[in-house]
Structure 1
Amino acid sequence: MTGIATDDRRRGFLPIVDADTRLLILGSLPGDASLKAAQYYAHPRNGFWPLIGGVLNQPLAALPYAERLDRLKARGVGLWDVIASARRSGSLDAAIRSPEAADLRGLIAGLPKLRAVAFNGKLAAGLGRRILADADDLALIDLPSSSPAHAISLSAKAESWAILGDFLPDTPFDR
């Protein structure tokens, strides 16, 4: 995994996917807390782990990071970001400058079971939808950001995030 560079250019992580990924959740670019921890969605107030845990009906937020990732993969969920690198001071998407797009098309080409791509927040949706504009065989889903900077309640976010369950097997054995 890569992380905080010596200048203000930030580099994202490697994708968390395998050949059984059915749902790919794309953020914009990891924030400073995530880059420092070398973990997706590491900021303690980010709602990602409770939100996706609710979709999977599993207490992901309470688990060690490696086990969280194992449980996502077991249910066909992958993670990545639409931006491979960008200049940014701080963690807010509004501060992103000179973004370099991640190779979403290249990644998707290697995911034979992929059914849907979900975008975690407006910036991820805007950039990701442009890149995947002609991906007619995939459902593209815009989600409210899991970031604490997106000021709606976690329960309101969870209502929108619940649709993700429609694209996943009921159990890890249904893949």
Structure 2
Amino acid sequence: MNVQSFPPIIDENSRILILGSMPGAASLRAHRYYWNPRNYMWRILYALFGDGGLPEEDYDSRISFALSQGIALWDVIASCERKGSLDSEIKQAVPNDLPGLLVRYPGIETLVCNGSKSFSELTKHFGEHSEIRKRTLLRLPSTSPIPTRDYRGLEDRLEAWSRIKSC
């Protein structure tokens, strides 16, 4: 099935751009970034930049919170063929115009790849581009709830993601 990502969530105050690969099925249905309730993204952002409490229930409040912390959201992939939500199922990926976005928002200092697929697609399509190379690039573990060899749950992902606090 052909799927398409959303427009970026970004403003002139954004310093950190978190890049997913492609929203999962639950997020695509809701047309909201990281809307699968099991995904750790919102809990990580609120733990690192908020008062440690749970994320707001309201999506617009979550977006306002992220932007107020200088955090922007987008995906490396604009469209692809994929069944379900797994990155391993992504085929025929077409990238978003990340260099163009960075020209329009020069305040972005750090690009944070949310998982391996985001990182591999970014470096495959734009790894040598000057707009990418002049920024700090962080490859962090996916906020997906699926356990990996190195990341079993929220706590270890939160520890890894704490690196963005110094950006």
TM-score relative to the length of structure 2: 0.91
Structure 1 segment 2-21 matched on structure 2, within 5 A: 8-21=1-14
Question: Aligned in 2, Cα 1:133/1:26: closer, same or farther, shift over 3 Å?
Answer: same
Q: Distance in 2 between matches of 1:23 and 1:104?
A: 13
Question: Aligned in 2, Cα 1:53/1:132: closer, same or farther, shift over 3 Å?
Answer: farther
1:42 paired with 2:35, answer: yes
Q: Which structure 2 residue ranges, 5 or more long, are not aligned?
A: none
Q: Distance in 1 between matches of 2:147 and 2:32?
A: 20
Q: Distance in 1 between matches of 2:84 and 2:54?
A: 26
Q: Distance in 1 between matches of 2:97 and 2:31?
A: 20
Counterpart residue number, 1:173: none
Counterpart residue number, 1:172: none
Calculate the aligned-residue CA RMSD, in Å: 1.3
Q: Distance in 2 between matches of 1:77 and 1:162?
A: 14
After TM superposition, what 4+ stretches of structure 1 lie above 3 angstroms from structure 2?
none
TM-score relative to the length of structure 1: 0.87
- Count of aligned pairs between the two proteins: 160
Structure 1 segment 41-80 matched on structure 2, within 5 A: 41-58=34-51, 59=53, 61-80=55-74
1:148 paired with 2:142, answer: no
Q: Distance in 1 between matches of 2:36 and 2:54?
A: 14
Counterpart contact for 2:145–2:153, Cα < 8 Å = no
Query: Alpha-carbon deviation of 1:127?
Result: 1.1
Question: Partner of 2:133: helix, strand, or coil?
Answer: coil
Q: Distance in 2 between matches of 1:103 and 1:29?
A: 14
Question: Aligned in 2, Cα 1:143/1:104: closer, same or farther, shift over 3 Å?
Answer: same
Question: Partner of 2:165: helix, strand, or coil?
Answer: helix
Counterpart residue number, 2:16: 23
Select 1:95's aligned residue among 89, 97, 116. 89
Query: Alpha-carbon deviation of 1:15?
Result: 0.2
Query: Alpha-carbon deviation of 1:60?
Result: 5.5
Query: Alpha-carbon deviation of 1:156?
Result: 0.6
